[in-house]
């Protein structure tokens, strides 16, 4: 694992923009002064230093604090490419799971809500502490989503995401 000292020798991190810039030319493909790393298909930036690949958001923690994050390091706004220091925070696996957008297969368009064919109503539910919690059946889609949003605020706090 790279140390904070070695990281600061080879890269510059701008906490206001989240950008990484090479301070040294480590190979002919990575000249000094250019932006470091490449972006994966999931939007996360990865940077190869001394033959090892690191995620830019985890390097930001090392750069700013001098230590690796103890747990996961979460993007507040869910944009994996936004590595501004103000957008990053320490998180447990559970907290990180709460801070996700709605699933790709969501048909209601709103997180935590689905159409219950049997009841012919909108059903709201939320996951907390590893369990699914039933929030009720609603005639109105937005009322169901409001129930989800209230439960998310109560159960997930700052990690709750309703969109």
Mean pLDDT of the region 45-59 = 96
> What is the C-alpha to C-alpha distance for residues 23 and 10, in angstroms, rounded to an integer?
5
Q: What percent of the chain has pLDDT over 90?
A: 65
> What is the C-alpha to C-alpha distance for residues 158 and 163, in angstroms, rounded to an integer?
14
> What is the C-alpha to C-alpha distance for residues 144 and 127, in angstroms, rounded to an integer?
15
pLDDT digits (tens, 9 = 90+) for 67-125: 999 888 888 887 889 999 999 998 888 887 777 777 788 889 898 999 999 999 999 99
- Domain limits, CATH 3.90.75.20, in the chain: 4-91
**What's the whole-number average pLDDT of the chain?**
91
Q: Where are the alpha helices (DSSP H) in 54-125?
A: 56-65, 93-98
> What is the C-alpha to C-alpha distance for residues 13 and 36, in angstroms, rounded to an integer?
10
> What is the C-alpha to C-alpha distance for residues 106 and 147, in angstroms, rounded to an integer?
17
- Domain limits, CATH 3.30.730.10, in the chain: 101-159
pLDDT score at 85 = 96
CATH of range 4-91; options 3.90.75.20, 3.30.930.10, 3.40.50.300, 3.40.50.1370: 3.90.75.20
DSSP 25: -
- We find that the CATH architecture of domain 101-159 is 2-Layer Sandwich (3.30)
């Amino acid at each position: 694992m790279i140390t904070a000292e070695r990281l600061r020798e080879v890269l510059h991190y701008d906490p206001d923009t989240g950008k990484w810039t090479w301070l040294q030319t480590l190979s002919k493909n990575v000249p000094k002064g250019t932006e470091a790393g490449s972006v994966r298909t999931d939007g996360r930036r990865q940077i190869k230093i001394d033959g090892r690949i690191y995620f830019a958001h985890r390097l930001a923690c090392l750069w700013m604090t001098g230590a690796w994050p103890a747990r996961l390091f979460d993007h507040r706004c869910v944009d994996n490419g936004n590595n501004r220091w103000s957008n990053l925070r320490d998180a447990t696996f559970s907290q990180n799971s709460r801070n996700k957008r709605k699933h790709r297969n969501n048909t209601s368009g709103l997180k935590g809500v689905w159409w219950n064919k049997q009841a012919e109503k909108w059903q709201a539910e939320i996951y907390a502490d590893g369990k699914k919690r039933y929030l009720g059946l609603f005639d109105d889609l937005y009322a169901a989503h409001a129930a989800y949003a209230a439960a998310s605020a109560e159960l997930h706090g700052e990690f709750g995401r309703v969109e």
